[in-house]
Amino acid sequence: MKRMLCFISDMILPNFIPLNEAATKPDVLHAIFTPSEERMKKRLKDLKTVVKAKFPNLKIEEVEIPDAYDGKAIYESCKTLVEDYPNDDWKLNSTGGTKLMSSPAIEFFREAKLEFYYVETFRNRILSIKPDWEISEIPFNNSISIEEYFQLHGHIAKPGKSINRHEIHIFNQLQKLNWTVEASVRWRNPDNTSDLAEYDMIGIHDYQMSVFECKRKNSTDKEKVLKDLLKLSQIKYAFGGPFGKIYWIFNGQAQIGKMNEIRIKEFGIKLISGDDVNQISNNPQKFGLPPIKKLKNL
């Protein structure tokens, strides 16, 4: 039986990715977490919800530890788990957790002559690392849906349709790229009764999410511009993390203004404006977007 040990942390996506890839998917996931931290309990609950729906035969075992910084206790927990199932195929996902969670686990796995993984989302791969530090690459072959991305973070996504010509023009360009993109996505509370925000477009490439707000203005409404920028920063803060990109697509005669230019830079927003708005599908790499879809051979 294939068993994997992982650490639940605020960035839940690296815990999900090895479960979603056929080359690394285990039969049982042993999830180490600190039950005293409500956010970690919530992250584990959301992960279990997505896994149960997508992989009903994959079992998740909860492993509680009292202190995320007690390296000795974490080492002993790993040792006990592996020794309880000595004949099974063990792997460690070392990506999550604090350094004092992952370091003793790596130490034990190396002493036990067992391999461990590290998820490199930016490079679209999982690194498989042997006890002697020899590394092999496992490229991503699967992806995550927009709905699953939100569910992993305890929220709901409800796609709709673009409502104006400018949005439709942008959406048609984004659809030509090699990813999944939805328009007018509502970010909803888990109770599915109220919207936290609505975004003009959201795209998913492999496991990276990109969020877009589109505006065409000939006169600048400062309050509405600020609202757009804050809305984009909100989604990145909430669950984009290092895996998400946020874009503000601005066209028209209005001036963005010095203060908004500063905000765009500080919030980590990618601005697409002027003639570039019509070049998204011609040169997507310029904007950090996926390449154009390859035409299927007839």
SS3 112: coil
Q: How confident is the model at residue 201 (pLDDT cuts 50, 70, 90)?
A: very high
Q: Which of 76, 106, 139 is the last residue of a domain?
A: 139
292, part of any domain: no
On the 0-12 / 13-18 / 19+ scale of CB atoms within 10 A, 238 is middle
Do 151 and 281 share a domain, yes or no? yes
Q: How confident is the model at residue 298 (pLDDT cuts 50, 70, 90)?
A: very low
pTM for this predicted structure: 0.89
Q: Which of 104, 139, 174 is the last residue of a domain?
A: 139
Q: What is the mean pLDDT of the chain?
A: 90
Cα distances (angstroms) measured from residue 241 to each of 205, 244, 260: 15, 6, 22
Q: What is the mean pLDDT of residues 128-149?
A: 95
| Measured distance CA(248)–CA(282) in Å, rounded | 18
Q: How confident is the model at residue 256 (pLDDT cuts 50, 70, 90)?
A: confident
246, part of any domain: yes
Q: pLDDT per residue over 162-196, tens digit each?
A: 778 889 999 999 999 999 999 999 998 887 778 88
Cα distances (angstroms) measured from residue 131 to each of 23, 86, 92, 135, 283: 19, 17, 12, 10, 42
Q: pLDDT per residue over 260-289, tens digit each?
A: 889 999 989 999 988 899 999 999 999 999
Q: Which two tokens stand for residue 117?
A: 């993984």
Strand partners, 202: 182, 211
On the 0-12 / 13-18 / 19+ scale of CB atoms within 10 A, 133 is exposed
Q: pLDDT per residue over 38-78, tens digit each?
A: 989 999 999 999 999 999 999 999 999 988 888 999 999 99
